[in-house]
Structures are given as structure tokens and as C-alpha cells.
Amino acid sequence: MAHVRFEAVRKTFGKVVAVDDVDLEVEDGDFVVLLGPSGCGKTTLLRCLAGLEKVDSGRVLIGGRDATDLPPRRRRIAMVFQSYAVFPHLNVYKNIAFGLRMQKERKAVIRERVESSAKLLHIENLLDRYPSQISGGQRQRVAVARAIATKADVLLMDEPLSNLDALLRMEMRAELKALLRELGSTTIYVTHDQVEALSMGDRIAVMNAGRIVQLDSPLAVYDHPSDTFVGGFVGTPPMNFLSAEIVAADGAGPVVNLSGGSFPAGDSADSLTGRKLVLGIRAESIVVERQPSDGLIEAKVIVVEPLGSHNLLTVKSGEDMLKVSTSPRLFPEPDSSVWLRMDPNHIRWMDPETGAAVDSKVAAPQNAVAQ
């Protein structure tokens, strides 16, 4: 059983709290991504799981066993390091075979496993080369092959793709995802790249300042961020955040007041009337009209970035700067005016003090544990 659990894990380095009482449960076969900016504690958490860091308090359980005091070699894990850590003094074959030789497997078994792992990573023709003779991308494959050859219970990956150039990274992302799906191993994957996290994980644990701030499927993290940090960190471009106030207008129902205009709030905001809030909305959820109309917010175009599949407009509405995506054929002039319609189904309300998402009647967050 390759079930992993962190219980109230805490790790400090001197005065710095790297991991702050983290609880996390990972089911067998789950692919969980630890996502966050540098310094958020994701790598430290991973290293605590690996046994490369000793936790100050709390427990780490692997496959039901308390692994908190076990050295790395007894935890039945395999790890891929950011710098690959491929042994320069051993050839590719010996690198991949290393873990198996430590387990004192029979030669025939070792040969079979090394060759099948190498084949999965398409490096079966490199087995007698040395790391200095192969490219960075190939070294990365060796590192992955070495990790999967041991058939460990849990696979740990520490930003394995970040040292690759952009094109290679994209290819490896898909390849790695397919490979890990085929293997079905429990995987814990650390990255700061939110595109990687969204594309690869079954679930994403977004971390900030040593804590997990949201644990959800990629879709839920994207669509229903638990606070302004998650909304601002995940998604390209980041979520727009505007100061808003919902007031009761005479007769017509509650109205959302933004610095650049107002629009009817609709049923969704019933419980929030009379409050000052932060309105979160993604660039693709804002519709751009060329003509004014009721319920639209006026905004001035600052920059138009044609991105091929769509155009990204930077507009200013009142005091707020927003990013809005439109059809690739729409090219408003800079300094001209456009009118924005906010799709109420995609508005996420956040508390202006804490940044946390505020529950509203429509669109319950999808917190289901996806498998």
C-alpha cells in the first residue's frame, strides 16, 4: 500500500518556519502536485517525506508505517531531483541499476528492470554512455528511469522539468504524465510552474508560507480559488481582483459598485448585500463590447497583446487595471473605450481583509477528491 500521510508536520530552519503544521493525505495511486512560489515550503515538505530533512514535530506515514524516524533508504521511496543528480562516475546502465543493486537484486532481474525502464524513457540506446556524454534532457530521462526502476511505493519529484528549455519542457510534461498514469504509482510532484501543476496533477496542493492553502482538483483550483493568493498565482494571466461593494438599489435588486461603474448583482449575491468585497474574475470570463449598454462597465484600452489564439487587453476601469481576453480579431485602439460585461457565474467573491473566498449561493466549489 502506497498511501502517504503528513500529520501536523512542522519544520523550521533557525527562525524561519518552512513547513507550518501541515496535514496532507495522499491516496494510493494519487498524483498530487505541491504548487507554490519559491520559499513556500513545498520542497521542504517533499524532503521531509523523503527523509532528507528531519521533521521538528509531527509524523510522516508511508504505506501505513510511521516513517518519521526512518532514514531515506528504509522508506521505500524513489526521488527525482531538480538537478537530476545523475552519478557522473557511473554509466547510464549503472545509474539506473543503482537502486536495484542496493536492494541486492539478482543480476537477471536488474538487467530486465533497467532495460524496461530505459525503454519506457526511450533511452535504451544510451545505456553504456556516461552522463557527461549525453544532453541535459537525456540526463533527466536517466534520473526518471532510475527512480521508476526500483518500483518504489512512492515516487517523489522535485521540479524535474524546470531545468529544461521551454519546448522540451512541454514535450516531457505530456510524456511524463502518460508514463506515470501507465505506472499508476503514488506520486508527489513539486513545482512552481502553475501550468505544469494544472496539466499534470490529479490534485493540487497550493502552498504559501509553509501552509497548504487549497487542496483540490486542478479545475477547482482554477475555477474556485480559495483565496486571492491562489487566484493570483494560478492561471495565465492571473485572476483580476477589483474592490467592490454590493449595495441594495431601490427596487431593482442589489448592485455591484466598482470604481469604474456598476452592474446588477443578480441572485448570486443576495447574501452579500451591504458588504465591501473583492471581486475576482478571470480574463476569459469578461466579455468585451464595443458599444455601451446597461449593466456594462466602461474601460479604457491601454495595451493590446495579440497572442495568436486570443488577444489580451490591458484596460483601465476607474482605479482598476484589468486583463481581458477577447477574440483574436478584435483590435481596439489604445486609449479608446470598451465596455465590459462580467459573467456573474464566474465571479468569485473574496473577503477584502483576509483574501479568503466568500461562499455565495451559486456554484459550490468542487472539492471532491478526484482519482
Residues that bind another protein (CB under 8 A): 3, 5, 50-52, 54, 59, 61, 64-66, 69-73, 77-79, 81, 83, 85, 87-89, 98-99, 102-103, 146, 150, 156
Residue 180 or 272: which CB sits closer to another protein?
Answer: 180
Shortest Å distance, C-beta 301 to another protein: 41
Residue 86 or 297: which CB sits closer to another protein?
Answer: 86
Shortest Å distance, C-beta 92 to another protein: 15
Show the CA angle centred on residue 43, arms to residues 23 and 21, nearest 5°: 25
Shortest Å distance, C-beta 110 to another protein: 13
Shortest Å distance, C-beta 168 to another protein: 21
Shortest Å distance, C-beta 146 to another protein: 7
CA atoms within 13 A on the CB side of 354: 8
d(CA 201, CA 172): 14
The packing angle between helices 166-183 and 136-149, to 10°, is 10
Tell me which residue of 77, 185, 200, 80 sits closest to 139, measured CA to CA: 80
SS3 content of the chain, % helix, strand, coil (to 5): 30, 35, 35
Residue 3 or 275: which CB sits closer to another protein?
Answer: 3
Write the burial class of residue 309 (CB in 10 Å: 0-12 exposed, 13-18 middle, 19+ buried).
Answer: exposed
Shortest Å distance, C-beta 50 to another protein: 6
d(CA 207, CA 176): 23
Residue 102 or 174: which CB sits closer to another protein?
Answer: 102
Q: Residue 27: what are its φ and ψ, rounded to 5°?
A: -75, 165
Residue 81 or 263: which CB sits closer to another protein?
Answer: 81
Shortest Å distance, C-beta 87 to another protein: 6
Residue 100 or 357: which CB sits closer to another protein?
Answer: 100
d(CA 356, CA 278): 10
Shortest Å distance, C-beta 106 to another protein: 15
Q: Which amino acid is at 187?
A: T
Q: Which amino acid is at 113?
A: R
Tell me which residue of 204, 201, 207 sits closest to 221, measured CA to CA: 204
Residue 163 or 257: which CB sits closer to another protein?
Answer: 163
Residue 15 or 329: which CB sits closer to another protein?
Answer: 15
For the record, the C-alpha cell of 266 comes out as 443578480
